[in-house]
Amino acid sequence: MKAYETYLLDRAKVEGNHQLATYRRLGGYKALEKVLKGGLTPAQVVDEVKRSGLRGRGGAGFSTGMKWSFMPDVAKDPRPRYLAINADESEPGTCKDRVLMERDPHGLVEGSLIAAYAIQAKAVYIYVRGEYRLPHDRVAAAIQEARAAQLVGQHILGSDFSCEVFMHKGAGAYICGEETGLMESLEGKRGHPRQKPPFPAQSGLWNSPTTVNNVETVFNAPFIVERGAAWHAAIGTANSKGNFLCGISGHVNRPGVYELPFGVTAREILEDKAGGVWKGRQLKAWFPGGSSCALLKGADIDVVLDHDSLRARGSSLGTAAMIMMDDQTSMARVMEVIARFYEHESCGQCSQCREGTQWLSQIFHRIAHGRGQADDIDTLESLAKGMAPGKTICALSDAAAIPTLSAVRLFKDELIACIREQRDPLAAPAPKYATVGAH
Ligand SMILES: Cc1cc2nc3c(=O)[nH]c(=O)nc-3n(C[C@H](O)[C@H](O)[C@H](O)COP(=O)(O)O)c2cc1C
Ligand code: SF4
């Protein structure tokens, strides 16, 4: 792998960086100072981020500057405006935001404040996955320290900009990571996604203009403000700019969260960072960006990791959470586990999703447990096609359908063999239990 400049995880590696003194010693809050004391207007910050080519890291990869520019004109719309930070991080395989919150919480606070300034939000709500206790506590402590140092609250750094930052804990529901489910939950209601339009920028939290951004997305803002749009736009590939955090997990020697520039290949990450497939085995299949994107075969490992290259392979970058599976993995079992997750997490508002996820789960379960039926593959395919794309209120239905369609396309023979033999040849042998009196 070619040498490259890192910045996202540099401070995270320094002991004590979660505390304000260390963060400041490492240059923290300089970008916020540049914005507020250097006289940058909100429109200039939006423009800088637009020109940097930064794209959202929450899964969809939408242009961040463009999203910020969708907020209505302050002069024409007097409603309060909000920024919601999506720290729900519940997509299977994804664990990058956790590292940022635990080890660089002030980086998130500073990034959130710059984003809030750009969209002229009067408050930031950081919605944290309920199971993330340490990340929650670290960010909450950072907010307190920042408030005491006049970095949060009224007249930040003596400027005209005032902004409060609040934390909110989720309660373990994946659907509350979907941006409109998140807003419902923040408002104290059940996390049921809302029909769009209206989009959050028009009518979000408490019917006011709202921007929802992922943790890693806003974490990038201080670097862009300090070093400039051109610096950021010079890293990466044509339509995917900057460095990104890749969480690689599954059957690898060194799972973890690594910082990489867009444009590296998946093989480079697997071999140079994660130490290759474990136990000397071969790679059979992998998810490039969490369990909601289409599976790829092991042979596709030389694909470049960026939005365009993965789309060209029929998958997507998602949250850049690579889940690697070795050649002894049962795809029926993998899909059984994934389908059960989506069945459990569907909020039930849309019939395609509520019924579809249940059926996918039941069918993969029976295939994996030697009770598959002759027409199961066709049923899986027609069910998944009825669930996506864009047929439901939110994209959870798509998230269940997309991996299903890829599994049926890429591993049909293996699934058919499970049905024909009425057993899963790759299933782990059943554990042997000693029975009473069998000594
Ligand atoms: C079911 C579902 C779950 C999601 N979970 C998350 C999540 O945990 N974190 C996140 O940032 N985005 C999640 N998203 C994407 C958000 O809806 C939204 O696109 C994202 O927060 C926007 O931030 P960005 O533009 O900075 O990427 C989820 C989407 C869906 C459909
Ligand atoms: S697609 Fe599924 S999770 Fe999303 S709103 Fe409809 S039922 Fe709920």
- Kindly list the domain boundaries of the chain, sorted by start residue: 11-232, 235-326, 331-421
What's the pLDDT at 427? 83
Pairwise CA distance, residues 205 & 217, whole Å: 20
User: Is the Cβ–Cβ distance between 162 and 156 less than 8 Å?
Assistant: yes
One CATH from 3.10.50.40, 3.90.1150.140, 1.20.120.610, 3.10.20.600 for 235-326: 3.10.20.600
What's the pLDDT at 39? 87
Domains 11-232 and 235-326 share a fold: no
Answer whether 397 contacts ligand 2 (Cβ < 6 A).
Answer: yes
Rg (CA), the chain: 23
Site of tokens 């004391």: 37
Atom 8, ligand 2: which residue's CA is nearest? 347
Q: How far is the CA of 248 from the centre of ligand 1 (A)?
A: 19
Site of tokens 């920042």: 146
174, 347, 391: which to mutate for ligand 2, most atoms within 8 A of CB?
Answer: 347
CATH topology of domain 331-421: de novo design (two linked rop proteins) (1.20.1440)
Encode the chain in three state secondary structure.
CCCCCCCCCCHHHCCCCCCHHHHHHCCCCHHHHHHHHCCCCHHHHHHHHHHHCCECCCCCCCEHHHHHHCCCCCCCCCCCCEEEEEECCCCCCCCHHHHHHHHCHHHHHHHHHHHHHHHCCCEEEEEECCCCHHHHHHHHHHHHHHHHCCCCECCHHHCCCCEEEEEEECCCCHHHHCHHHHHHHHCCCCCCCCCCCCCCCCCCHHHCCEEEEEHHHHHCHHHHHHHCHHHHHCCEECCEECEEEEEEEECECCCEEEEEECCCEHHHHHHHHCCCEHHHCCEEEEECCCCCCCCEEHHHHHCECCHHHHHHCCCCCCCCEEEEEECCCCHHHHHHHHHHHHHHHCCCCCHHHHHHHHHHHHHHHHHHCCCCCCCHHHHHHHHHHHHCCCCCCCCHHHHHHHHHHHHHHHCHHHHHHHHHHCCCCCCCCCCCCCCCCCC
What's the pLDDT at 431? 60
Token output for 53 = 């080519």
At residue 179, what is the residue type? E
- Other CB atoms within a 10 A radius of the CB of residue 195 amount to 9
What's the pLDDT at 177? 98
Which segments of the chain have a pLDDT < 70?
A: 429-439
Pairwise CA distance, residues 153 & 161, whole Å: 9
Question: What pTM does this model have?
Answer: 0.96
Answer whether 396 contacts ligand 2 (Cβ < 6 A).
Answer: yes
What's the pLDDT at 434? 59
Query: In the CATH scheme, what architecture does the domain 11-232 have?
Result: 3-Layer(aba) Sandwich (3.40)
CA angle 208, 210, 216 (to 5 degrees): 165
pLDDT in tens, 2-14: 999 999 999 999 9
Q: How far is the CA of 391 from the centre of ligand 2 (A)?
A: 10
Pairwise CA distance, residues 323 & 300, whole Å: 14
Answer whether 56 contacts ligand 1 (Cβ < 6 A).
Answer: yes
Atom 8, ligand 1: which residue's CA is nearest? 89
Answer whether 90 contacts ligand 1 (Cβ < 6 A).
Answer: yes
Nearest CA to 108 out of 195, 7, 18, 176 is that of 18
Answer whether 120 contacts ligand 1 (Cβ < 6 A).
Answer: no
Pairwise CA distance, residues 55 & 57, whole Å: 6
